[in-house]
């Protein structure tokens, strides 16, 4: 226990300071009550987002500039944590967690190349990952097509999984064929990294990452089944077997559901019993993400000298950024406050 205190005392002090600056309910309410995007930007200027948001035209803000500013602030927080968290094993684990941003950018490029979107438009949609990724996204964005893009990832950890999936993609022409192996690789790397942590840290992260994987599987299975009517075998080939409370048998049952009975089938597993009043898959996804949000807040309570304090704060910061994006998009489209709140995790 003393070693844990010594290991985490400095980073805990830094996180306590950063956590105190998270957006509080009164500011959220103020942002929700703004009438247009320009008013939203003015309120945000009075928060710690000011350095990034100051580059946005306050009078006629463009939503893409607002989103970019929010992303820049998030990445700055990630870089700060990596800078002050000096212990190699734990720092490496946090870097694996953050590699999801790198993977999201790879997916954005895959979709863009498949749809024939220009390189400039693809670049505009990328998440800024300076300091948390070593990939040259400028070169990757300028690849000729999906096949050329995959060939440019030679000697990276993504090379093998994408090359293995490429023949199926060329046959089926579905980007999910390439995207899902990236998700699987992410969880495989996380599970491997958890094994390098102390017993206490490992137990905390197993349940958290396992829940994240379960939610990922549930949404992939139901979207594939209800939106694209894929057969169970095809869906289960994309199943990631590193979950926590969703058994493979329960996943198989979900992969055979219909629009009429998926709620009944879902209600038989751990997650379905905790999410009620499901009118759509969007409702389900928000309910599942609220479970993860609750778990995030839970690991930040009590004894603070463990890896969960760091991972939990990073997750809360990402949730905050997502909430601000939801409000910004809502103001852009003049949505009512209640509708915007439904898309937020608080």
> Which of 292, 203, 185, 167 has the alpha carbon at shortest distance from 240?
185
What is the tens place of the pLDDT at every residue in 55-85?
A: 999 899 999 999 999 999 999 999 999 998 8
Alpha-carbon distance of 307 to 205, in angstroms, equals: 8
DSSP state of 220: H
> Which pLDDT does position 24 carry in this prediction?
95
> Which pLDDT does position 305 carry in this prediction?
83
Summarize the confidence of residues 294-316 as an average pLDDT: 89
Neighbours of 211 (CB within 10 A): 22
Q: Is 137 exposed, middle or buried (0-12, 13-18, 19+ CB in 10 A)?
A: buried
Cα dihedral across residues 138, 139, 145, 150: positive or negative:
negative
> Which pLDDT does position 87 carry in this prediction?
81
DSSP state of 127: P
What is the tens place of the pLDDT at every residue in 200-252?
A: 899 999 999 999 999 999 999 999 999 999 999 999 999 999 889 999 999 99
- E strand or H helix that includes residue 294: helix 281-299
Is the predicted pLDDT of residue 40 greater than 80, yes or no? Answer: yes
The CA distances from residue 123 to 98, 129, 178, in Å, are 19, 12, 20
Q: Which residues on adjacent β-strands are paired with residue 130?
A: 133
Least confident of 3-12, 91-100, 267-276: 3-12
Alpha-carbon distance of 128 to 130, in angstroms, equals: 6
Summarize the confidence of residues 320-340 as an average pLDDT: 95
Cα 186 off chain centre by: 12
What is the tens place of the pLDDT at every residue in 149-169?
A: 999 999 999 999 999 999 999
Is the predicted pLDDT of residue 3 greater than 70, yes or no? Answer: no
Summarize the confidence of residues 91-114 as an average pLDDT: 95
What are the backbone angles phi and psi of residue 130, rounded to the nearest 5°? Answer: -60, 125
């Amino acid at each position: 226990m003393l070693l844990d205190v010594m290991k985490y005392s400095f980073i805990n002090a830094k996180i306590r300071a950063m956590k105190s600056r998270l957006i509080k309910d009164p500011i959220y309410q103020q942002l929700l009550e703004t009438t247009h995007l320009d008013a939203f930007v003015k309120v945000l200027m009075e928060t710690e987002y000011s350095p990034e948001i100051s580059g946005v035209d306050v009078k006629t803000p463009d939503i893409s500039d607002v989103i970019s500013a929010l992303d820049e602030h998030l990445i700055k927080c990630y870089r700060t944590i990596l800078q002050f968290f000096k212990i190699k094993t734990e720092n490496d684990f946090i870097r694996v967690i953050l590699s999801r941003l790198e993977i999201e950018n790879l997916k954005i490029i895959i979709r863009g190349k498949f749809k024939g979107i220009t390189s400039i438009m693809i670049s505009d949609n990328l998440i800024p990952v300076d300091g948390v990724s070593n990939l040259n996204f400028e070169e990757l964005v300028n690849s000729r097509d999906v096949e050329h893009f995959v060939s440019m990832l030679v000697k990276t950890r993504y090379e093998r999984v994408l090359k293995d999936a490429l023949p199926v993609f060329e046959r089926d022409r579905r980007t999910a064929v390439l995207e899902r192996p990236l998700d699987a690789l992410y969880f495989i790397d996380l599970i491997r990294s958890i094994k390098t942590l102390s017993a206490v840290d490992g137990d905390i992260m197993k349940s958290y990452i396992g829940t994240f994987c379960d939610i990922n599987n549930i949404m992939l299975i139901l979207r594939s089944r209800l939106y694209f009517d894929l057969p169970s075998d095809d869906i289960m080939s994309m199943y990631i077997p590193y979950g926590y409370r969703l058994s493979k048998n329960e996943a198989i049952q979900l992969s055979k559901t219909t629009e009429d009975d998926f709620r009944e089938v879902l209600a038989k597993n751990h997650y379905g019993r905790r999410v009620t009043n499901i009118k759509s898959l969007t409702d389900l996804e928000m309910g599942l993400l609220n479970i993860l949000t609750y778990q995030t807040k839970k690991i930040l309570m009590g004894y603070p000298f463990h890896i969960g304090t760091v991972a939990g704060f990073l997750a809360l910061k990402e949730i905050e950024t997502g909430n601000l994006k939801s409000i910004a998009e809502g103001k852009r489209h003049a949505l009512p406050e209640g509708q915007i709140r439904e898309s937020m995790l608080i």
